[in-house]
């Protein structure tokens, strides 16, 4: 037994050590160091956008993206209710108000069917909709073929929260490239990490330039310190950008390993009545996290029972996010709901999915799952 098996730990190799050591030895610790510019160009190249801005976190990237599209006091932003708090919090930072929308049961992504009526209702109420946010849940892209025309018809920009989806694609197009602006997270548990960090990507040069200005304390380009806006200290460090460059070189390898784990889970649960993998069948997913959805009436057990069984064996799991409309901080906010996010929260569990999970630890994990299933036959 090698200790705790975590849900999605960092996957580092000698390559990352070499890149970081080179950055440290260069003596460049300033926020305009060469590793940052290389990292921005390389991520933009991977995603297929013309511009990118490296920042200190995915949440910072979301905040800047929303400001850049005009979110602020007196506006609302449509946000999926099934998401991490940062998505909604970034809206609140701008002074705008989130309006929550439910998810598709199969993928967990924003329910496209609800969006046109919601936008009509907001427009009729005199609300100014600054943006529609999408979240690519567990590394699977939302249904952009249907979402983009709806947003275009309504004249509302799309902000794509692809925090979990770097490397994912939909019909050959990369996650992060669909919206007017997209963002990624490089926190410690994402598909690749800079320990913390994020990226704004867009085809819009002016938008990214505005984000870059705000991320650097909004300092005007003069010799002394001059500020016309309230800015933020959201810059990524040169050393962490070097770590990101090494991780990016290994991204496809890490995606392949996570996909192999998901396929192993899918094979294991295929014969279990009432059990399914959230978003299963998406060949373009980066498989960042594998979440199991369980119908307890059909399976004879529930997701929480599996989580407790694995926890007793020092294996980490986690329920899906508690929907934002259920969070006390956002109680009473307007929402378009079907109950799908509530059901996923009640019936699902996310399983260890790290690309570094292999060998004896992987065997220990799957043996523990098999023991659980055997005990309920």
Separation CA 91–CA 77 (nearest Å) = 7
E-strand spans in the chain? 51-55, 75-80, 97-101, 128-135, 158-161, 169-170, 173-174, 181-185, 198-202, 275-277, 290-294, 318-319, 335-336, 348-351
Separation CA 12–CA 26 (nearest Å) = 21
- Does the annotation count 190 as an active-site position? yes
- CB 44 within 8 Å of CB 51: yes
Separation CA 190–CA 198 (nearest Å) = 11
Q: Which residue has the tokens 């692809």?
A: 162
- Active-site hit among 63, 190, 257, 262: 190
- CB 274 within 8 Å of CB 296: yes
For residue 50, give both structure tokens.
Answer: 């013309």
Helices and strands (DSSP H and E) totals, the chain: 13, 14
Q: Catalytic site residues?
A: 190
């Amino acid at each position: 037994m090698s200790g705790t098996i975590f849900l999605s730990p960092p996957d580092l190799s000698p390559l990352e050590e070499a890149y970081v050591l080179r950055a440290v030895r260069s003596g460049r610790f300033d926020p305009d160091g060469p590793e940052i510019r290389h990292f921005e160009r390389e991520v933009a190249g991977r995603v297929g956008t013309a511009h990118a801005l490296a920042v200190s976190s995915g949440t910072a990237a979301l905040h800047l993206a929303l400001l850049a599209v005009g979110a602020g006091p007196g506006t609302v932003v449509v946000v999926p209710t099934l998401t991490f708090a940062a998505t909604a919090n970034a809206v609140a930072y701008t002074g705008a108000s989130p309006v929550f929308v439910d998810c598709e049961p199969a993928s967990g992504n924003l329910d496209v069917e609800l969006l046109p009526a919601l936008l009509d209702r907001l427009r009729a109420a005199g609300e100014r909709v600054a943006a529609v946010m999408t979240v690519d849940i567990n590394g699977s892209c939302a249904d952009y073929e249907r979402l983009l025309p709806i947003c275009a018809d309504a004249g509302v920009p799309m902000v794509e929260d692809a925090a979990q989806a770097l490397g994912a694609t939909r019909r050959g197009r990369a996650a992060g490239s669909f919206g007017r602006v997209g963002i990624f997270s490089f926190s410690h548990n994402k598909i690749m990490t800079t320990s913390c960090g994020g990226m704004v990507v867009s085809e819009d040069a002016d938008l990214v330039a505005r984000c870059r200005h705000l991320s650097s304390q909004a300092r005007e380009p003069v010799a002394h310190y001059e500020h016309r806006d309230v800015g933020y200290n959201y810059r990524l460090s040169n050393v962490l950008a070097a770590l990101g460059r090494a991780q990016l070189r290994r991204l496809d390898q890490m995606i392949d390993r996570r996909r192999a784990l998901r396929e192993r889970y899918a094979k294991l649960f295929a014969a279990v009545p009432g059990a399914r993998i959230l978003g299963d069948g998406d060949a373009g997913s980066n498989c960042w996290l594998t979440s199991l959805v369980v119908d307890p009436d059909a399976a004879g057990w529930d997701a929480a029972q599996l989580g407790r069984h694995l926890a007793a064996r020092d294996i980490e799991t986690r329920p899906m996010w508690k929907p934002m409309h259920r969070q006390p901080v956002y109680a009473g906010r307007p929402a378009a709901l079907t109950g799908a996010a509530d059901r996923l929260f009640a019936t699902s569990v996310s399983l260890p999915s790290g690309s570094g999970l292999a060998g004896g630890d992987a065997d220990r994990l799957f043996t523990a799952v098999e023991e659980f299933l055997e005990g309920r036959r």
